Structures are given as C-alpha cells and as structure tokens.
Structure 1
C-alpha cells in the first residue's frame, strides 16, 4: 500500500535536507531557518512512522494521517528539486560563456531575486502543513521506534506436522524425490556426512510446507529415523537461536514420548517433558545435545527467512550431536537462504499441472458430488484455474470464495477480475504472498510496487525497469561513488533470489525476465492507489495518483487521464497508438509539470514543442519509434535534470540539437538520425554520459569527426548502421560493454590494431556482420577482464581467437550460427570461471 513507503520517503527527504548543497541553496534563497525547522519536525514525525506502520489497521485515522505525510513529503521534494534545477541552470549558463544566455538568465524567473519570495512562500506553506500533521499525530499515541531491522507487518501462523494425505493433490512425485534423497545413506556432494540438509524452495502458497508434511508422515520415515521433529521458524524473524532451541527440545521430547508410549504407560511416557523456558542458552544447548545424542533424527525446519550464515552454522553445530544419517528438511522462499543452509542442490518446487489444479479447485468449490449439477460453472472453473499459475493456495483461495455460491455472475466476476480485487482473508494467497513483501527491506518494497504498472506476462529487460527506479529517485548511492544503475541491478538480483521472477535469462549486460503471475497480482495488491495501470476495465483514477500506465492497445486519446497535477510517471509499456498531434501533449506539459518519467513511444508528431522546457523535473524521456519527427526543439536542452533520452527508431530525425550539452545530467543517449557524421563537440559537456546507442543511423559513415575522447562512456551499442566504416574504440577509454550488430560495412580492426590497447571491457557482443572473417586482434587487450563473449550469426567467420582460452574471467561464452567454424579450441578446460557455454551451429544461406 502507498503508506508502506512513507518512512522511506521521509527518510529520503531528510537526507536531502541535510545535504550541503541544500543548505547552501537555502541560504541563497533566504529560507535556511524554515528549512532547519522542517528538518527538525520531519525527524520527529519519522520517529513514529514505524509504529504508525504497525498500527494503521488498528487505530482509526492513522492510515489517512500517513497518507497526508506522504503527500507533504512528495510536494516538498518537488519544491526542493527546484533548488537543484536552478543550480544546474546556473552551471550551464556559466559554461556557455554566452552574454546572451547570461542576460536571458538575469531577466528570467530563475533569477534568485525573482525566485526568493516564491521559494520562501512554497517552503513556508509546506512547513505549516508539516507542523499541523505533526500535531495531529499526537492524538494517536504513537511510540518512537529506532530504525533497525525491517518492520514485520504480519506474521505467518505457526505450522504443524499433521496432514491428511487424501487432501494432497499432485505432489506424489515430489514426495518420492525427497524421500529418495533422504534414503541415500551418504548423498553425493554432501560435505558433512553426519548431517544432510535438503532445502525445498518456492514462492509462498506453492505447497512447500504441505510437501514437507507429506514426507514427514510417510511410514518409511518412521522406519528410517528414530526421532522426528517439526519446528516452524517463521515466527522468529530475527532467527532467535534461544527460542529455536527451546522448540527443538520440546518437539524432541514429544517425539521421544510418542515412541515410549508404544511400550510404556502414559505417565512414564510423559516423564521427559520439562519446563525449559527459564534456561539460558548454555543449558539449552547442553540439554539438546543430550536429547539428540545417538539418535538418528529427521528435523523439519519450516519457513526459514534468515540468510545469516553465522547463525545457521551455530544452530547446525548444536544439532550435529545426532547419529550419522540424521537429516534436515528446510523450506524457504529464497534462493539465497537455500544456498546458505543446503548441503545439496535446492529442490525447486514447481507449480501443479492444470489438471491437478482443477481437481483441487473442484474439491474446494463444491461439496462432494455436487459438481455434476453445474456443468456451466465447471467450464468457467477451468478458466478460473488458469489465473492461479499452478499455485495450490491460489486455487484454494478462489475455490473457497465460490463454495456453495452457484450464481453464474459471481463465477464470471472471479474469472474476469484481477486477483487483487477479490476479497482475501488471512491465510489466503495474497496475504500469504504479502509476507514475502513485508520481509523485504524498504528500498526493495518501494521499487517492487512499480511492477504493477506493467501488464501480466510482460517481458522485462532489466535496464528498463531500473531506469524507471532511478528516474523516480528510488535508488540511493550508499557511499557516494557507486553508480545508481549498478545498485539497481543488484536490486534485480535480490528480487530474483526471492523467486519473484521466472524465465530469468542473463547474457551479462543484458538480462530479461517475466514476473510470476501471482507476484504481479501481489504488486497490484500492495500498490493500491500509488500506481494505476489503465485498461478497458478502469472506471476511475484516484485523485492524487502519481504513477500511471496504459496497458491496452487503445488510442491514448480515449484514455481517461487524471486532472491532478501530481503525476510523476506516464508510461506506455506496450505498443500503443501514440500521439499524432501536439494538442494532448501541450495539455500534459501544462498539467503534469512534476513529471519525472514520460514515455511518448510510437507517437507521430513532427516537431517537439518549445513548451517542453517547462518539465524541469523530467529525468526520463522516451520518443522511440516516432517515424515523423524531423527535429527537436532547442528547448529540450533546458531539461537540465534529464538522465535518459531515447530517440531510437526516429528515422526522419534530421539532426540532434546544437545545444545538446545543456543536458548536463544525461547518463544515457539513444540516437537515430540522418546525420552522416556525428560531431564530437555535441557531447563536450555531457560529463556523466555512460551509455551511448546508435541505431538505424543509415547515413552515418564515421562515428565522430574528431579524435578527442569521451571518458565517461562505459557502454557503446551500434546496431543497423549499414554505412558505418569504422569504430575507433580509443575514443572510449573506459568502455566496459560493446555491442556491434548488423553493420555490414564496418571494419572493427581499423584504428584499433596498432598498437593494440588494453581495455577494461567486461562484455563483448558481435552479431550479424556478414563481412567479418576473423575476430579482431584487439581482443587480446581484454583477455584479463572479459566476462561475456557472444559471437552470433557471422557467416564467414572461420576461426576463433587463439587467446580465447586465456580469458581467466570469462563466465559466459555464446557461439551461434557461425557455419564456417570448423573447429573449437581443445583446451576449453582452461576457462576455469566459465559458467555458461552455448554453441549452436546451423548452415545459413546468404545468396
């Protein structure tokens, strides 16, 4: 929900207010005292926000109070971003050395003399609103909570070991696979033969606990193990070792009592039960080791979240007292946890088949024998089951919601509605999945919610969602020197380890994936009014919506756009018919002046209007595949906050603006142009430019006419530039990623061979160069750094470079569709870092 982000928003704003740049700017505009007062008040409010987070569903009015704080913080961020913009504007004016520019600056609204009273008024208004909301918060009796581990908003109820085997559908094969592992005396690859740990991994609701119960209660386990213990870990989120030991001891005592009761009276069997709650950890570990000594046991640790290896090893050292052959089954929702705790490869649990899902659905939706009376409902039920993506708990949730409700309209509603719009009870699928969301650190929670702006089954390219996060200010450098894009890519890896993605493919720099269908439902569930994805079913849009996308292929002229000016994101993730006139665009520019992210893909207007300079907060602008636009207004160069400019596929664009250097924050530039030569002087002031893409620049023969270097560029992508003759890499001394594709005339060796230079290149992709006979010898200069090499569709390539097997850091090697390659190096074994090797050969006909 939107209020789940308030603490992070307040914390982020406080960080900005405390920065040296903001303090200096506030003095310049005469608002230093007001700024300090705001900072003090916001610190007090932030202190109680964690308690408010926990109590928002218990105390009336807390939720609305938090929403007011979020609105104030967002408005304050807009005002303070104005400081940063004016500072950058001043930088550009000074760098231009133009008298005309400086005179224009003097008489513009950005002059401090003009700005000071306006800024003072805005900040005073925000200060008063913040003071009022701080006073209002006193009536809720909220406590000040120190910032510590992530706040757990809800807990999963403790699990037990009992299961009725007749209720388990579709898991017989999984059970046999786990039992097969348990019955191996010394599983291959087990480093410590005295104790094997098998981790069952899967998203919430997939049936990990049910499978563990199914195995635990199998009669073969009673014959194999002298003692069986079941312990639920989820209610100890900080992995409280003392409490876990108490649970294991108690369940061990219960297991021993059960065995004793077979041959002894009940009074004798219960004699081992003790009150151990007051024992310290030294006494507990001693008691546990005594209990387990000489016993071959099976221990199930259900629902583990903690990935602290030190704590896990400490626990394992305590339970190693059992006899050789003792086993542990652990269930978790995280691959990173599984990698810490498992001694064998994780058992990754898959979803049920559609047939098994439907059988389970019928069990929960109908009383026994009733389904035959409702053939129409049965057919709709098959369609409802498809929404569940093979997850048993989702099937049970939807089936239970329809139990004994035989109204056709209700079944159609469930079939056609988003899962997030169907009422959920505690223990149903979305509240269960939300546990995974609540367990994430706040920076991941804020980023995750923006997946709700995309349609289901959408193929993400990681850099696209990462750019959205960065543009919205969701990514913060931890030490001031880290690249924001690199940090955000780490977020992608972390979400993947939590099993939120499927079809995850990594080719080094390029990463693609899909969001699991139910995880997409979770994103919509937690987004609430923070983000809205508009489709044909959308009837209204919240008044203060900040992030909006259009996810159906309808004309955007027919879409209902909000009248509120608070919009920050306007996104079109799928191919839609874009703007064909500037009328609607002019409306957006005048109304949505706080936009950070604007996508105008597939539009067809000819000229970008001058009014674009009003979008001073804009960080991301996508004009891709506008096949009519001929020129960009010079006003675009006044977007001093712009970080990403995408002109890919704008095939009629005649030239780039002369004052491109005004985009001093630009990090990524995607170019399609009719120019034959790209003047390097255009890039002279782009000191932060990291990614440069040339796509379908059909007339371009030479990349640059000068020889000066672009020292900030780390990634260069050149594709479908059929006239390009050379690619002088010495211009990019810090190049880490190079992609060259479908450039038939290019000579990769020209200007790069004599002398061979050393590069810091990590990823190299060469594809569809029909004239390439050999990999250029300058590749010798990257043998110490290259991690990814992709050679794709080179019909005349006959040999691979001899230095290939000396690439000690190479992790990914992809050789595909190179029919003239007759042999491969025999010493592939020298590539000790290699993780992925793909070789695919096919005969191509280029006649």
Structure 2
C-alpha cells in the first residue's frame, strides 16, 4: 500500500493560500520587495489546488500509476519548501518587532551594526527571499503545466464531512457486545467455576485482529460476578516486545490504580529488575486476583516462564486471561484449551453496522440503504471493527451513490499479503479513511508516530497538530485546544479512536492497533517510527521521525534528514541520551517545527538551538539533569509552546523570555525563589501556564496581569501560599487546576463579595486545607461545567449554592473520607451528565435518586433490541 500523499495536499494548499492572504505576510512581503512573487505563487497554487481532489481520487483507484504519484510528490515537496520560505518572512517580521519593542536606543544602534555584517542585513535578507521565491515559482509553474497530462477535473471544494454523534463523558458502548453474550458466559464460567485447584489457571482468547478479543475481555473484566469473585483485578496491555521489566511495571501500576500513575511508574522505572520482582511478589502474595494480559505477541517461552514464576504467588484460584491472535502463543501459555473467537454472524454483523450508520429509529426510513449495507456487511467478514468504522463513516449520509461507492470500490479486490490483514479489515479502514474530510487526513496520519497501544493524551497530539498548522485558526473566545478537540471528536465519531475518557482539562484515549496500522500505511514514507534503518533513497521524503527507544542515537545519521519537521520520543521515561545527536539536530535540521526532548539526560543545550527559527514546540519535560538553558532559546520568536516541567535541577529560567511574543503555552519547574514577573508579564499571547515542583516559590506574580491567560495549573509547589485569582489579574481564566500544594489556602471570602470569575473547569487534588468550596466560585454560576475534587481529607461539606450552577455537567468527588453532606436540591442541576462519588454508595444512591430524570446521561449508540426493531 503506497503512501497517499495526495490526500494531504488539498488542505496543505488551502493553508498556504490563507497564509499568503494574511495581512501580516502581505505587509512583510511589500517591505521585502517580494510582493509580486507572492502574488504569482498564489495564482499558480490556486490552479493546482483546483485539481488536487481529483488527483487524490485517481491515486486511490490506481496505485500503480507511478507517474501520478511522482507528480504528487513534486507538489508536496514544493509546497513544503514554500511553507518554509513564508515562515522565514514571518520570522523576520516578528524578530524586528521584538527588537523594536525591547531595545534601548544604544542597543538599537549596536544591533543595526551587527545586522549589517550578518545574514539579518535587510538587503541580504531581501535578496535571499526574492531568489527563493523565484525558484519556488519556477518549480511550481512546471508542475502546473504538467497537470494537463493526467486529465484532471476541477474540484475546488472538499465535500466530505463528519456527522458527529452526540458524545457524552462516558465511554462509547462497544458494538462488539452484539453477538458476544455466549462467549462472555463461557469465559466467566471458566474463570469462576473450575474443577481444578491450580493456583494459576490461564484462559486464552484467540482470534483475528479486530474480531473483538479485547472487547470481550473487557465485558468479562467488568462483570459484577468477576468483581465478587476476585478482590484484585489487573489489566495490562502487552503488545509489541515482551519486555519483562515493562510488563512487571504495568502489573504493579494496575494493582495500584488509586496512585498517580505517571509519578508511580516513573518511580518504578528507577528500580532494578530484582527490586521490581520483589515488589511484584509482595503485591500479589496470597491474593486472589484476575490478571488480563491483552494483545500478547511474545513467542519466547523463556520470557513467559519467567513472568509466570513471578506471579504464581497468589492464592489458590487466581486466574490469568490472555488475548492473542496467535494460536501457538495461546498453546504455550494456556492451561486449558483456547476459546476461539470467530467473526459475527451475518445477522449480528448487520445489527452492528446499522447501529453505527443510522440514528436511533432511522434505519426503517431508508430500506434501500439497509439493502446496500447488507452487501457491504458481507465484505467485512464478521469483523466488528470493520463494521463499526464503515458504518460510522456513512453515518447521516443518505446519498445512494455514496453507499454504492463503498460497496463497489475496487479496494475490496486488492490483495494484502500480511496474515494479520485477513478479513478485509484494512480495506474497510481505508474506505473509512477516504470518507474523511481532507483536513483530518494528515492529522490521522501523524498518529503513526506513536507506538501501538500508546496511551494518548489529547494535549500531546494537539500540540503536534498545532506545530504543523493543521488546526484552523481559533474563532473569538476559543483556543487551539477547542479546535483540536473537535478533530478528536470527529475521529471518535467514525470509530478511529476508542476508550475516550474526559478528565476535565483534556482527554485520554487509545487507538486499535489495526487502525494504527492503517495510519502507518497512509503515512508510509513521511512518518517513520525508528525501529531499524531507513533506506537511503527514502530519506529525502521523511518529514517526521519518532524514536520509541533511545538505543544507538550516537550512530543515527540525523544530519541526513535535511527537511525534517518533527523529532519526538513518545515512550514515557525514554528520551534522548546522546550529545552528538542533539548537536546534529540543532545544527542540521533547520526546518524543525516540533522538538520533543522529554525524559532526556542533558545538563544543558547547545547554543545552536536558538537558530531553529521555524520551531513552534519545544519540550524538555522531565529532564532531571538539566541545570541551565542557553539564553539563545529566547531568539525563537515563533515558539508557541515551551515545556520545562519536571526539570527539577533547573537553577533559573533563561534571560529574555519576554522576547517569546508568540508563546501561548508555558510549563515551568525551577529552583528559583521568584519567577521573573517583568518577563512573564510581557508574554501577551500566553494562554496556558503550568507551575510544577517549584518548591521555593511562596507566591505567584504579585500585581502583574495576564490578560490572555485561560488555563492555570499549579501542582506540587509545597511552599506556595497564594494564587492570583482576582478578576483584574486573570480576567480570561477558564480552567484552574490545583494539585498537592501543602501550604496553599483558598481565601473563602465573604458571601457578599463574589468574584466575577468565568471558570469552566475547576480541579482540586490533595489540598488538605480545603474544608468547603470558596465563595468566589459562585461568580462562575453561569459558566462552570466540570468540578473534580479528589484526595482532600478535610473536605467536610459541599455548599448548598452548588446546586445553583446552571451549566455544571460533571461532578467527581473521590478520596474525600470526611465529607458529610451534599446539596439537598441537587436535582436542580438540569445539565448534570456525570456524577461520581467514590466510596460513598449511600450518598451516591441518594444523589442519583434526587437527580432522577434531570440527569441527561446520553448513550451514543442504540441498544441491540432497538436496532432489531429498526430492521423489522
């Protein structure tokens, strides 16, 4: 399967045309004398854009047309180079603004003299940009002339849209529940009604990818009978290599779900294998437990026996449930014959498909579409993932031609050699991909930069999209985060994402490994997950590199990837560990926009990092050895996100932060006793600020104002006593998170002095001084949507005025053992969708009764019996 570069180009061309039309670029081009060149480029690009959608369709239907693929690659290459040139113009414009705003008269003179002898000389820069633009136009003119040989039709608008289902905070109901009742009962019977007395019985579930093994295991795992029988339940997704240390860490973490997972796992990684083994044995000894090992690929019996010996310390009756695609693995691990999970019957398959393709009660209105759907279902081989994704891609689409196009597409006749692709699952996924709007396609492809079974966070993927200008400009009073969330909701709606969980300030989710395989095939050439060498002839096309491991970085030829735009280390706890690698990155990869060096081992960074003028995102998160940063970082005037959280040895922030005038997101960990208020006050674009592990800080900001700040997170600042929560200091604040600040006290204020705040999200964790909610929160009566309080031991009461909140959708109260009362009239919360009160079943039952019909908890899918009625 070839990389479908054509599918990205339409949205890329649209983005470039919008940038060319921006007032800032027009003014800069006039000053630099390249205005006419940009106008010529705009006109030629418009000609090419008009045929790109038709070019994509032709590529989709004819993979062997190498001449067309070559033409599309030429378009991609010149658009990429043009984007770099336009960004250089914008960079120079921003740099001049910074110099003008922050230089004294004397410094201005010195700067002008220095610039005269450098590449920043206006005459030199103007000449260089004019030459580059002429080269771009020459290449583009030739490409435009060649377009006629392919007989393209003009299609200048992308009509693909995603009709989103109504989404709730609860996870989407798995369609695989249809037709799996007998399987569930059989597995549960095997687990809790055995005739042997073995202290560790192992039950394997075997089936094709996408057939629903994991969903069946979840149905079993969450069954009330299992809860009653096994006091301890653990779920571990293995996937990939069977690294015994990582598997042990996952098992221990799963057994301690109440503990902060990120910090806990990091602490476990610091232990050696013997310490981990002892920790695991002490955790499981004499316990009656159920352990699920999901998606096992390991065929090495030695590794399996080593793990089995470690966990055989539980009580008699412990069980292990294993899911795998491989019969030999199941035979090696199992103590009883495997449960073979087959595809759904045609009737159940149609129920699943219809459930995802139509709104509730709608299928009976379109019998002709159901008939076409029946033919589509036959091609899916009873695989629930294929049925769900194809059904979702046709949701709320009533054009017969669209349905017939899916049914009759030639892709069903393509042969895929890999055994894991049986059941036509990848054909179905690709057809669903074709139905995506262009703006989603490259976003989806970038998921391939993360390893299979990666636990995604919306912040990480949104940051990657944002750095590459894949998100639309936010409208008034909205942020890039909002745009990213809309894209994620659309991908969820078409079933390309799963296990979606809302935690207030973001979302966590996963991707089925076959969907991940589809993304990897789509982005075959441009995106590389580095697990082995990359062929020399393909290096020129690579734009994004991801290193799930950090072995051999010293020898990796990073300097050969001249057009690289992304470097990331996606595996938690594994970062860059080579000085030579970093120097090569910062000196050779001049067009980097996204540089993730989290969990690395550097004490400082090279000065050359300040020359990455295209850089939008820089993460140094959890660099525990980092002691100082070069001031040259502050030359990155296009930088939008700078993450320094977890840099616990960082003595001071770099000088000149005020020059980062594009910075929208800043995370800080430092040993400083006071933050540079005058520097931070000048960050006029700053929307998100996270202060973490700054144990020497006692107060934040004093009297400075952050007019654009929407999100403030303060965590693990043990000596912090006060926060600037006055409307005058943070007038736009929408999200506040406070976590584990031992000395911080919220001022309750007077009932008649309610602050005019506009909070939407409030999360409080481990704030032992909290007795009740502060009065100033009442100022958010018409805006607060999400309230989460956890591990606040001294919280006694939730005030009656909480029931007056007009927009509150979620209330989560967990780990607060001394809470005594809940608002009596909580039933007034007509907007409430999710109510969780951990450890207080009577209080929760009473609250749920009071909410009654006022709680609008929606299911995003129909139930099986409802679908049957629709088909009758």
- Tell me by how many angstroms 1:727 deviates: 1.2
- Give TM-score scaled by structure 1 length: 0.69
Say whether the 8 Å CA contact 1:577–1:603 is kept in structure 2.
Answer: yes
Residue 627 of structure 1 and its aligned partner are, at CA, apart by 1.6
What are the residue-to-residue correspondences of 1:522-671 with 2, within 5 Å? 522-536=518-532, 542-552=539-549, 554=551, 556-561=553-558, 563-575=560-572, 577-580=574-577, 582-671=579-668
- SS of 1:137 mapped into structure 2: helix
Change (3 A) 1:784 1:176: same
Find out whether 1:25 has 2:28 as its counterpart. yes
Q: CA deviation at 1:143?
A: 2.4
The answer to whether the aligner puts 1:77 opposite 2:83 as a matched pair is: yes
Deviation at 1:638, TM superposition (A): 0.8
Secondary structure, counterpart of 1:612 in structure 2: helix
Equivalent of residue 50 in structure 1, options 50, 53, 65: 53
Worse overlay, 636-645 or 501-510: 501-510
Does the alignment pair 1:95 with 2:101?
Answer: yes
Conserved? CA contact 1:677–1:700, under 8 Å = yes
Contact kept? 2:569, 2:576, Cα under 8 Å = no
Question: Which structure 2 residues correspond to residues 302-701 of structure 1 after superposition, within 5 A?
Answer: 333=390, 428-477=424-473, 482-536=478-532, 542-552=539-549, 554=551, 556-561=553-558, 563-575=560-572, 577-580=574-577, 582-701=579-698
1:656-707 alpha-carbon deviations (Å, 9 max, x no partner): 1231010000000000011112232111221110100011001111112x31
Instruction: Spell out, residue by residue over 1:121-158, the C-alpha distance to the aligned partner (whole angstroms, 9 max, x if none).
Output: 11111111111222222222222223241399xxxxxx
Q: Counterparts of 1:721 and 1:170 in 2: how far apart (Å)?
A: 46
Q: Give the equivalent residue in structure 1 for 2:155.
A: 145
Partner of 1:10: 13
Contact 1:470/1:484, CA 8 A, preserved across alignment: yes
Match of 1:63 in 2: 69
Q: CA deviation at 1:530?
A: 1.7
- Does structure 2 retain, via aligned residues, the 8 Å contact 1:597–1:621? yes
Distance 1:170 1:601, change over 3 A: closer
CA contact (8 A) 2:574 2:600 kept: yes
| Alignment equivalent of 1:41, drawn from 25, 41, 44 | 44
**Counterpart Cα distance in 1 of 2:180 and 2:774:** 52
Aligned length: 634
1:2 Cα offset (Å): 2.3
Once the two structures are superposed, what CA deviation does each residue of 1:12-52 show, in whole Å capped at 9, x if it has no partner? 21222222322222221122222222222111112222222
Mapped to 2, the partners of 1:755 and 1:625 lie a distance apart of 41
Preserved CA contact (<8 Å) 1:713 1:732: yes
1:91-144, CA deviations, whole angstroms, 9 ceiling, x for partnerless residues? 101111423542354232223222111111111111111112222222222222
Q: Residue 613 of structure 2 contacts residue 636 of structure 2 at CA under 8 Å; is this kept in 1? A: yes
Q: Alignment partner for residue 214 of structure 1, among 334, 337, 347?
A: 347
Provide, for residues 541-582 of structure 1, a one-character-per-residue CA deviation record: whole Å limited to 9, x for no partner. 632200110113535335453603100000111135544564
Which residue is 1:364 aligned to?
A: none
| 559-568 or 632-641, which deviates more | 559-568
Task: Measure how far apart 1:4 and its partner are.
Answer: 1.6
Going from structure 1 to structure 2, the CA distance change for 1:34 and 1:457 (only over 3 Å counts) comes to same
Q: TM-score, normalised by structure 2?
A: 0.67
SS in 2 for 1:654: coil
For the 8 Å contact 1:79–1:122, the answer to whether it is kept is yes
Q: 2:99 & 2:819 partners in 1: Cα distance?
A: 56
Which sits farther off after the overlay, 745-754 or 485-494?
A: 745-754
Contact 1:729 1:752 (8 Å CA) reproduced? no
The equivalent position to 2:764 in structure 1, one of 763, 766, 773, is 766
Question: Displacement of 1:206 after TM fit?
Answer: 7.4
8 Å contact kept, 2:6–2:55: no
What's the counterpart of residue 817 of structure 2?
A: 819
Deviation at 1:650, TM superposition (A): 0.7
What is aligned with 1:804?
Answer: 802
- 1:245-304 Cα shifts (integer Å, max 9, x gaps): 8789xx8xxxxxxxxxxxxxxxxxxxxxxxxxxxxxxxxxxxxxxxxxxxxxxx977769
Partner SS, residue 445 of structure 2: helix
CA contact (8 A) 1:232 1:302 kept: no
| Distance in 1 (alpha carbons) for counterparts of 2:467 and 2:47 | 28
Distance 1:12 1:401 in 2: 35
- Select 1:729's aligned residue among 701, 708, 725: 725
Q: Which residue in 2 is equivalent to 1:353?
A: none
Task: Confirm or deny: 8 A CA contact 2:5 2:72 kept in the other structure.
Answer: no
- Contact 1:93–1:101 under 8 Å retained in 2: no
1:646 is paired with a residue whose SS is strand
Tell me if the contact between 1:795 and 1:819 (Cα under 8 Å) persists in the aligned partners. Answer: yes
**What RMSD, in angstroms, separates the aligned Cα atoms of the two structures?**
3.7
Unpaired runs of 5+ in structure 1?
Answer: 153-168, 178-202, 219-229, 252-298, 305-329, 342-396, 403-413
SS in 1 for 2:540: coil
**Structure 1 CA distance, aligned partners of 2:22 and 2:47?**
18
1:757 & 1:532 partners in 2: Cα distance?
A: 50
Q: Per-residue displacement from partner, 1:505-528 (whole Å, max 9, x unpaired)?
A: 112322111112211111111111
The superposition leaves residues 356-403 of structure 1 with CA deviations (integer Å, 9 ceiling, x where unpaired) of xxxxxxxxxxxxxxxxxxxxxxxxxxxxxxxxxxxxxxxxx9xx978x
Change over 3 Å in CA distance of 1:86–1:836 after alignment to 2: same
Task: Establish whether residue 110 from structure 1 lines up as the match of residue 113 from structure 2.
Answer: no
Q: CA deviation at 1:216?
A: 10
Shift of 1:172: 4.8
SS across alignment from 1:677: coil
Which of structures 1 and 2 has the larger relative contact order (alpha carbons within 8 angstroms, sep 6+)? 2
- CA–CA distance in 2 between the matches of 1:659 and 1:682? 7
Note if contact 2:553-2:577 (Cα within 8 Å) is conserved in structure 1. Answer: no
Please report how far the alpha carbon of residue 631 of structure 1 lies from its aligned counterpart in structure 2 after TM superposition: 1.8
Cα separation, 1, equivalents of 2:100 and 2:662: 16
Q: How far did residue 83 of structure 1 move? A: 0.9
Determine whether 1:119 maps to 2:129.
Answer: yes
How far 1:7 sits from its partner (Å)? Answer: 1.7
Q: Secondary structure at the match of 1:729?
A: coil
- Kept in 1: contact 2:592–2:614 (CA 8 A): yes
> Partner residue of 2:283?
none
Q: Return closer, same or farther for 1:335/1:506 CA change in 2, 3 Å cut-off.
A: farther
- Kindly state the Cα deviation for residue 620 of structure 1 after the two structures are TM-superposed: 0.2
Match of residue 139 from structure 2: 129
Residue 788 (structure 1) aligns with = 786
User: Could you say if the C-alpha distance between residues 215 and 93 of structure 1 is closer, same or farther in structure 2, counting changes exceeding 3 Å?
Assistant: closer
- Relative to structure 1, the CA distance from residue 682 to residue 772 in structure 2 (aligned partners, 3 Å threshold; closer, same or farther) is same
SS across alignment from 2:591: coil
State the alpha-carbon separation in 2 of the partners of residues 545 and 14 from structure 1.
Answer: 24
Contact 2:539 2:561 in 1 (8 A): no
Q: Could you tell me how far apart the structure 1 residues matched to 2:375 and 2:476 are?
A: 40
Higher CA-based Rg? 1
Contact 1:204-1:436 within 8 A present in 2 as well? no
Alpha-carbon distance change, 659 to 216 in structure 1, aligned in 2, over 3 angstroms? closer
**Counterpart contact for 2:550–2:577, Cα < 8 Å:** no
Q: Aligned in 2, Cα 1:143/1:506: closer, same or farther, shift over 3 Å?
A: same
